[in-house]
Structure 1
Amino acid sequence: MTERLEDSYDVVVVGGGAAGLNGALMLARARRTVLVIDAGSPRNAPAEGVHGLLARDGMPPGELLERGRAEVRHYGGRVVTGEVEAASRDDDGFEVTLTDGRTVRARRLLVTTGLVDELPDVPGLRSRWGRDVVHCPYCHGWEVRDRAIGVLATGPMSVHQALLFRQWSDDVTYFAHTGPALTGDDAERLAARGVRVVDGAVASLEIAEDRLAGVRLSDGALVGREVLAVASRMVARAGFLATLGLRTVEHPSGAGEHIPADATGRTEVPGVWVAGNVTDLVAQVGTAAAAGAGAAAQINADLVAEETREAVAAHRELTSAASR
């Protein structure tokens, strides 16, 4: 059954992950009318647990989000399932159109839609994503400690990734694959840390008994590995913002595409804020949640300033009329 929406809200939050829900929580507690629209496809869905989040370490991602939705609703916020198709300027606010045809107005927008991981086209890789094919040592390093780890070179961050994973295991192999050629300095750093370098393209992953068994090279050689780290290309989910003139641009790190914003999450389009991975590609759950809260505080302050200007204008008009 389609969930009925009110005609207008102070703030519409697009995306119901950690950033969006924490932002909505702050806004609801500030007595703002707030609507969260969530497509229900969190990036960390394949992971068994969220890590590095104080007092919630190891909690399944779905449970964390369900608790967050309940907290937002407790303070009067709305959380609905849906996907935003477009957002357009409407007088002094915005009109948000969902793919099912529903529309809603908002005075401000907080966009927390996260990102999509674009993975290398290596057979067997995507099906293991979030299990024994991982990307972040701080998210997964403890769980894969002391195991045979491979790092698939795909871009400028791959050497850095290999050196990070070396912190959790002394058995790390760097697969040059299609990544950039190693500089002399990079080769020296890997050798100094005992990271073996394997040249040649990777053809596929070998899976045995529902676990990663090794990496098959294009020449047929098999290199046994229990875990493979891959630096995906991360692209913000923000196509619907194009109608407002907001488009993704290349991140300075070269890791993918993001929506630029200032330190508070304010974008170049007045009234639109962003938080979480849609703007900070490497933000973990705790960082994203904090950014959502910070952006929400800025949005509330912006609304207070607007309401105060309107109140002052009305007060002046009333005072002027009384004096005539």
Structure 2
Amino acid sequence: MTRHSEQDTTDTDRDEVIVIGAGAAGLSAGLTLARARRRVTVIDGGAPRNAPAAGIHGLIAAEGISPAEYVARGRAEVTGYGGRLIDGQVDRITRDDDGFTIALDDGTTLRSRTVLVATGVRDDLPSIPGLHRHWGTAILHCPYCHGWEARDKRIGILATGPLSWMQALMFHQWSDDVVLLANGVDFSSDDLATLDRVGVQVRTGLVEEVFDDPDGALAGVRLVGGSAVDLDAIAMHSRIHANTEILAGLGVSVEENEFGTYLAADSDGRTGVPGLWAAGNIRDQMAQVTSSAADGVFVAARLNMDLIFTDAGRPVTPPREPVRR
């Protein structure tokens, strides 16, 4: 078997692995595979989900690093070990007995034995005026990602479903001034009693708009009827959609739960399509940067082991049971 200590392929040569997506999962997978001396290409479509955020938090030894700097460092590390990076958008993926063909929207065509998809998810937000412009900055979704930055502030929890009361309960850990904006969602008497015991207020009525102060900072929400709730930050659950459109035609299974959609894969990252693997948010909706990066390493290691067994003429370990979301 020929080992590849550096990337010396052309666009017409076949990679061993193509990683689609250059966020935490994709770059970690690319780095792991490059260090395993695999011929690997990572395709970066740009526009990461966390781009609006000022910093990434809970990432040990890189606390507060900007998303752009994090990606830049990761890209440099992948190429430093001989991996190849391509900036581009994947238009379609097809599979045959010899592997996969990946067509980019600029006409470039790539070939690979296997594909690891790490294209993540996108957020579907309510169509409330003023909400979108603060998403990822003053409008948050994860207390562990941004709770410290919102500590002791006036936090409104914009209800988007029956589990929003739990988000209000969690954010109370970071501030004593938390209000649940019911926004037409009905909550059980037990849930409301729990919030009342810890001091979380509940405001009924539909949210009509998010309004700003004269400097453009988030200042609160206005309810239908005209009453206002002054706030410094808003937390909410978006509906999450896995970015699986480029996989159309491959026969993948896209599942749905109360949070949105995800790409079905087993606990090692194998999808139902031979040679197609998945890592990060696309298969784990709740993954943060840290867990997505770890998943990229884990799935890349399992993929590499499959290639080692295949090239040694040994049967590949049977897929594990699918992970139940």
**Pair in the same fold by TM > 0.5:** yes
The reply on whether 1:83 has 2:102 as its aligned counterpart is: no
1:200 counterpart residue number: 205
The alpha-carbon deviation at position 7 of structure 1 amounts to 2.7
Give the Cα–Cα distance (whole angstroms) in 1 for the partners of residues 38 and 163 of structure 2. 41
Q: Contact 1:7–1:105 at 8 Å: present in 2 too?
A: yes
1:22 to 24, 28, 45: 28
1:145 counterpart residue number: 151
Instruction: Give 1:183's aligned amino acid.
Output: S
1:298 counterpart residue number: 302
Give the Cα–Cα distance (whole angstroms) in 1 for the partners of residues 163 and 297 of structure 2. 29
Structure holding more helix per residue: 1
Q: Contact 2:12–2:109 at 8 Å: present in 1 too?
A: no
Q: Contact 2:162–2:187 at 8 Å: present in 1 too?
A: no
2:279 counterpart residue number: 275
The alpha-carbon deviation at position 96 of structure 1 amounts to 1.0
| Structure 2 alignment gaps of length 5 or more | 1-9, 315-325
The alpha-carbon deviation at position 264 of structure 1 amounts to 1.2
The alpha-carbon deviation at position 178 of structure 1 amounts to 3.3
Instruction: Give 2:72's aligned amino acid.
Output: E
Instruction: Give 2:198's aligned amino acid.
Output: R
Q: Contact 1:239–1:247 at 8 Å: present in 2 too?
A: no
Q: Contact 2:253–2:272 at 8 Å: present in 1 too?
A: no
| Structure 1 alignment gaps of length 5 or more | 311-324
Q: How does 1:191-270 map to 2 (within 5 A)?
A: 191-208=196-213, 209-251=215-257, 254-270=258-274
Q: Contact 1:207–1:214 at 8 Å: present in 2 too?
A: yes
Q: How does 1:22-171 map to 2 (within 5 A)?
A: 22-171=28-177
The alpha-carbon deviation at position 78 of structure 1 amounts to 0.6
Q: Contact 1:241–1:247 at 8 Å: present in 2 too?
A: no
1:184 to 185, 189, 211: 189
Q: Contact 1:238–1:247 at 8 Å: present in 2 too?
A: no
The alpha-carbon deviation at position 248 of structure 1 amounts to 2.2
Give the Cα–Cα distance (whole angstroms) in 1 for the partners of residues 254 and 271 of structure 2. 12
Give the Cα–Cα distance (whole angstroms) in 1 for the partners of residues 228 and 299 of structure 2. 49
Instruction: Give 1:138's aligned amino acid.
Output: Y
- Secondary structure in 1 matching 2:37: coil
- Secondary structure in 2 matching 1:104: strand
- Secondary structure in 1 matching 2:113: strand
- Secondary structure in 2 matching 1:10: strand
How has the CA–CA distance of structure 1 residues 156 and 102 changed in structure 2, closer, same or farther, with 3 Å as cutoff? Answer: farther
TM value normalised by structure 1 = 0.92
- Secondary structure in 2 matching 1:65: helix
The alpha-carbon deviation at position 280 of structure 1 amounts to 0.6
Moved over 3 A (4+): none
Paired residue total: 304
Give the Cα–Cα distance (whole angstroms) in 2 for the partners of residues 6 and 292 of structure 1. 26
The alpha-carbon deviation at position 62 of structure 1 amounts to 0.5
Larger Rg: 1
Instruction: Give 1:137's aligned amino acid.
Output: P
The reply on whether 1:8 has 2:14 as its aligned counterpart is: yes
TM value normalised by structure 2 = 0.91
- Secondary structure in 1 matching 2:310: helix
- Secondary structure in 2 matching 1:243: coil
Give the Cα–Cα distance (whole angstroms) in 2 for the partners of residues 92 and 161 of structure 1. 48
Q: Contact 2:154–2:233 at 8 Å: present in 1 too?
A: yes
Give the Cα–Cα distance (whole angstroms) in 2 for the partners of residues 188 and 157 of structure 1. 14
Give the Cα–Cα distance (whole angstroms) in 2 for the partners of residues 245 and 127 of structure 1. 36
Give the Cα–Cα distance (whole angstroms) in 2 for the partners of residues 132 and 138 of structure 1. 15
Give the Cα–Cα distance (whole angstroms) in 2 for the partners of residues 169 and 222 of structure 1. 20
Please provide the CA RMSD for this pair.
1.1
The alpha-carbon deviation at position 247 of structure 1 amounts to 4.1
The alpha-carbon deviation at position 82 of structure 1 amounts to 0.8
The alpha-carbon deviation at position 5 of structure 1 amounts to 2.8
